[in-house]
Amino acid sequence: MSLPNAQPENNASGAAAEEPRRILEVRNLSVEFYPGSTRAFHAVVDANFEIEAGKMVSVVGESGCGKTLSALALVGLTPPAARCRGTIVHGSRSFEASSSALARLRGRDVGMVFQEPMTALNPLFSLDRQFREVLRYLRGVEDRKEARDISTELLDRVGLDRPERRVNQFPHQLSGGQRQRAMIALALAGEPSLLIADEPTTALDATLERRVMELFRKLADEGLGVLMISHDLPLVADVSDRVVVMYSGYTVENGPAHQLVDAPQHPYTRGLVASASAIVLGDTPRLPVIPGEVPSPDRRPGGCPFHPRCPEKLDRCESEFPPESEPVAGVRTACWARGGDQ
Amino acid sequence: MLGFVIRRLLVAALLLLAASFLTFMMIQLAPGDYLAQLRMNPQIGDDVVEQMAERYGLNDPVLVQYGRWLGNLARGDMGFSFVHERPVAGLVWEHLRNTIFLMTMVILVTWLMALPMGIYCAIKQNRLTDRVLSALAFVGLSIPNFFLCLVVMWLAAEIGGIPVGGMTSAHYEYLSWGGKVVDVALHMAIPVLVIATGAMAGLQRVTRGNMLEVLRQQYVTTARARGLPEHRVIYVHALRNAINPLITIFGYQFALLVSGAALVEIIYSWPGMGQLILEAVLTQDLYLVVGVVLGSGLMLILGNLLADILLGVNDPRIKFGERGAS
Ligand SMILES: Nc1ncnc2c1ncn2[C@@H]1O[C@H](COP(=O)(O)OP(=O)(O)O)[C@@H](O)[C@H]1O
Ligand code: SF4
Ligand SMILES: [Mg+2]
């Protein structure tokens, strides 16, 4: 098999060929820190989303909203102080979110790409050696030559130039963009069906950022499921199928990508879109259009956690958390001002 | 890399030259000298002393003497020890060999014990074993070597059967080959133990700290996320990075041990550099002092060079010969 993941694997039930294959379903995922103690708090509350093969889903929100924790929980990588609850369905296998069995999905079913390629790649090992290691442990490839062929093919697939040469290099010999591509190739080495990328372009300049995003889109088009994590809604909306908006651990909106940019429902999503366009238009002071900042989860205000910053705040927002509603077909929003009172 | 080594050795040679000059001057300018001691001895006639002074040119100006010594050094002659009445080179080499032997054992024991303990403590951070080992390390660090020497010596005397002085027994020459090995090992046991205690405690703490630091790094999470087994993540990805700073420590541990061990060597009359230095300085045995300084200096420099080479082998980001490369 020369191009892992180039084709979506065929489901056993051939009849469902037309149905997009669901590779991940997250139900009521919560992440609680220091459970049982007086300083316990929830960093992620009741997250629900799903990803189908060939689709790219993005989770967006400002820093501290619980995006990274949600992603880490999918493969049991949350910090020891955290307890996860909920259900995570990978393909046909269902897991308790607290289960240590999630670790077995790492690499083989779920590939992960992290934010800082400078610190996320072990500086002491050449790419060749890192590939060989993953291929040996995940796919039983013992032969050096075979491992090398697979690695250069993977590097080529993620658009790294001169992969035969690059594969011999060490992380510090690559540029930021090259490093990030190498990381993606390494994440693909175990032939996962889902790729999770946590702010993979934060360290890159705007042009590179777009090119790497397009690479993820290409990988999704080749059949992979992609979970993208970002604070930049317009950037990811362009290449994503769906967008999930998180605020202070809560999922506040979930809908088709283009719809969330063209007609955002939740006031927080509107704020994200507006602040991004303010920067694009070059309004001189790059002040965020949403004043204030995300409350840390242990000091989250009651009611709708967004109410201290919300321009559309109603009286009940301070005391009651809004239920989810569907103000527009396909878009789920948690906001009193968007029919939460129906 | 060869160029790097050569450059380093050239710098080392210059340093040693400067060190030998300074030592020479200090001994010569210090009040009294070896001959003065001879003169005070009523059994040695003044003519004998004058003869000696003449033979070794000790009446010449200091700079001339130094120049002559340098010229001889170029021919491999490090001068003559007045006290031992033999060439300095052989004397220094013998003692240096014994010290290197002792140090090698100390370093082996130190590293083989401290590394696993430090790693274990880091992985089991704040669990009972970590706390116990950390407490022990603290005790080990705070006991002064000379005190430990005395306690151990007393213990050994109470228990009996373990030699507490010298490197070999009186009947060493008559022992079989295997018997000789055992004899030396027994003589080494206590000095090695005493020197290794402090060094081990320190190294264990540093290893634990480095390991904890490295385990927090993003690439460790990456390695886990790749689906690698935990032992691979810890013993390959984390450990290789945690070892990097330890290699530098290895280099100056040599330096530390040379000075720290001198005391222990003297107390246990181990025939190493420590004894030789003390004796040479006390008797103002000029050429021997300079020889000992050269020998010890060379050892330090080689230790550091070895550490730098190992560091470069372990870390691809280090380019040999580039200053401040990180
Ligand atoms: N190791 C941790 N210990 C305690 N709290 C944590 C830890 N990691 C994350 N948190 C809490 O969870 C919140 C969300 O973190 P994270 O998922 O990293 O946010 P995001 O990726 O959206 O920026 C943080 O603001 C912090 O309060
Ligand atoms: S629920 Fe109220 S405070 Fe929260 S976003 Fe909607 S309007 Fe604003
Ligand atoms: Mg994050």
Q: Could you report the per-residue pLDDT of A101-122, keeping only the tens digit for each?
A: 999 999 999 999 998 767 899 9
Q: What is the pLDDT of residue A8?
A: 46
Find tokens 């401040």 and name the residue.
B324
Ligand 3 mean position to A68 CA, how many Å? 4
For residue B267, is pLDDT > 90? no
What CA–CA distance (Å, rounded) separates B114 from B136?
Answer: 12
Q: Which chain A residues are Cβ-neighbours of B245 within 8 angstroms?
A: none
- Is B224 at the interface with chain A, CB within 8 A? yes
Report the DSSP pairing between strands A93-96 and A250-256. unpaired
Cβ B1 vs Cβ B320: under 8 Å:
yes
- Is B7 at the interface with chain A, CB within 8 A? no
User: Please, which residues have CB within 8 angstroms of residue B112's CB and are 6 or more apart in sequence?
Assistant: none
**Average pLDDT score, chain B:** 85
Instruction: Select from A31, A37, A68 the residue to mutate for testing ligand 1; criterion: most ligand atoms less than 8 Å from CB.
Output: A68
Substitution target in A68, A119, A122, A170 with the highest count of B β-carbons within 10 Å is A122
Stretch B257-274: mean pLDDT: 81
What CA–CA distance (Å, rounded) separates B165 from B265?
Answer: 9
3-state secondary structure of A57: strand
Q: Which chain A residues are Cβ-neighbours of B218 within 8 angstroms?
A: 114-116, 119-120
Q: What is the pLDDT of residue B90?
A: 92
Q: What is the pLDDT of residue A213?
A: 95
Task: Kindly report, residue by residue over B128-167, the tens digit of the pLDDT.
Answer: 888 888 888 888 888 887 788 888 888 888 887 777 788 8
Stretch A141-166: mean pLDDT: 95
Confidence at A288, pLDDT banded by 50, 70, 90: low
Ligand 1 mean position to A45 CA, how many Å? 13
Question: Based on C-alpha coordinates, what's the Rg of chain A?
Answer: 21
3-state secondary structure of B269: coil
Sign of the alpha-carbon torsion through A79, A82, A83, A88: negative
User: Please, which residues have CB within 8 angstroms of residue B214's CB and are 6 or more apart in sequence?
Assistant: B220, B238, B239, B241, B242
CA distances (Å), B183 to each of A83, B110, B155, B171, in order? 59, 22, 19, 10
What amino acid is encoded at B181 in this protein?
A: V
User: Please, which residues have CB within 8 angstroms of residue A210's CB and are 6 or more apart in sequence?
Assistant: A235
Angle between the N-to-C axes of helices B177-215 and B145-159, in degrees from 0 to 180, rounded to the nearest 10:
140
What CA–CA distance (Å, rounded) separates A252 from A250?
Answer: 6
3-state secondary structure of B52: helix
Task: Kindly report, residue by residue over B282-294, the tens digit of the pLDDT.
Answer: 888 888 999 988 8
For residue B41, is pLDDT > 80? no
Cβ A189 vs Cβ A169: under 8 Å:
no
Stretch B170-197: mean pLDDT: 86
Q: What domains can be seen in chain B, in order of their start residue?
A: 2-88 (no CATH), 93-282+294-314 (1.10.3720.10)
B138-152: b (≥16 Cβ within 10 Å) or e? eebeeeebeebbeeb
Task: Kindly report, residue by residue over A201-246, the tens digit of the pLDDT.
Answer: 987 888 889 999 999 999 999 999 999 999 999 999 999 999 999 9
Q: What is the pLDDT of residue A18?
A: 59
Confidence at A280, pLDDT banded by 50, 70, 90: low
What CA–CA distance (Å, rounded) separates B129 from B119?
Answer: 12
Q: What is the pLDDT of residue A168?
A: 95
For residue A10, is pLDDT > 70? no
Q: Which chain A residues are Cβ-neighbours of B224 within 8 angstroms?
A: 77, 106
pTM (two decimals): 0.81
Stretch A3-22: mean pLDDT: 54
Cβ A243 vs Cβ A272: under 8 Å:
no
What is the CATH class of A22-102+231-338?
alpha beta
Cβ A1 vs Cβ A204: under 8 Å:
no
Distance in Å, alpha carbon of B223 to nearest chain A alpha carbon: 8
Q: Is the CB of A122 under 6 A from ligand 1?
A: no
